[in-house]
Amino acid sequence: MADDNTGAQGTGDRIPTIIVDDLHIVYRVHGAGSGRGSATAALSRIVRRKASPNIREVHAVKGVTFTAYRGEAIGLIGSNGSGKSTMLKAIAGLLPAERGKVYTDGQPSLLGVNAAMMNDLTGERNVILGGLAMGMTNEQIRAQFDDIVSFSGINDKGDFISLPMRTYSSGMAARLRFSIAAAKSHDVLMIDEALATGDRQFQKRSEERIRQLRREAGTVFLVSHNNRSIRDTCNRVLWLEAGRLVMDGPTEEVVKAYEAKIRGK
């Protein structure tokens, strides 16, 4: 169980880290409908500044508003396609807002299942690259290297860290990604389903690390379909459906309502 359940209300003297104000995100899918369309046709349209005849819009986030505070671990729940990953990407600045605004204090780091790793490079090289990408110095990476590898458990069954990432199972790769990201304290750390691919033992270890990151005064977002992970880690939950915020409150209250809705289906 998470160590407190303050939920969304009662701001007191809490420090906001993320403010999402009436956020709308729209994807535009080019070439939807009639086949793929050729690159030549697309280029000619660009040159003549003509719009593509078949652009489809997907309104993935529809007017979401909330404020996240320092020290909170916020779970994002909701059925497939409800807009959870889209919202994290928008908070990380990877997707432009169609309408509304996202204000952030510090640089949010998004750790997704597809977080960039170089598959042809060894795990070892990826630890170094990942550390550099997060703004760590060579010395900091060197000092933390053994801890990162040991946290990931990659070398538990042999010397895998010196093998290319493409030889890792999806669970092993996810563990290494999480271990790299968790090596640094983040102002805002957003984790998209990273815990789902690790085994239960690794999940427990990463949940403890999330609680620690939260104690270190950052804000953690966790997208997960595993309600146990959400219950064990988060003090507050946002429930999204079809791009809209259905509920925002203390973990137990929101997860219970979500489970009741699923059972009632």
Ligand X SMILES: Nc1ncnc2c1ncn2[C@@H]1O[C@H](COP(=O)(O)OP(=O)(O)OP(=O)(O)O)[C@@H](O)[C@H]1O
Q: Which residues bind ligand X (CB under 6 A)?
A: 27, 29, 58, 60, 78, 80-86
Measured distance CA(229)–CA(189) in Å, rounded: 16
Q: Which is nearer to ligand X, 94 or 132 (CB)?
A: 94
Q: Which is nearer to ligand X, 83 or 198 (CB)?
A: 83
Tell me whether residue 85 or residue 251 sits nearer to ligand X (CB atom): 85
**Closest separation in Å from C-beta 58 to ligand X:** 4
Closest approach of ligand X to the CB of residue 82, in Å: 4
SS3 of residue 250 by DSSP: strand
DSSP-based three-state secondary structure for 202: helix
168 touches 147 (CB < 8 A): no
Bridge partners of residue 20, in order along the sequence:
66, 102
Q: Least distance from C-beta 80 to ligand X, angstroms?
A: 3
CA triple 49-51-56, angle to 5 deg: 155
d(C-alpha 94, C-alpha 87), whole Å: 10
Comparing CB distances to ligand X, the nearer of 37 and 81 is 81
| Amino acid in position 54 | N
Beta carbon of residue 218, minimum distance to ligand X (angstroms, whole number) = 22
Q: How far is the CB of 257 from ligand X (least distance, A)?
A: 17
Shortest separation between residue 147's beta carbon and ligand X, angstroms: 30
For residues 121 and 242, which CB has a smaller minimum distance to ligand X in the complex?
A: 242
Strand partners, 112: 192
Joined together, the tokens standing for residue 17 give 């880290």
Q: Which is nearer to ligand X, 7 or 31 (CB)?
A: 31
DSSP character at residue 164? B
CA torsion 251-225-179-201 (nearest 10°) is 90
Q: In sequence order, what are the residues at sequence separation of 6 or more whose Cβ sits closer than 8 angstroms to the Cβ of residue 124?
A: 161, 162
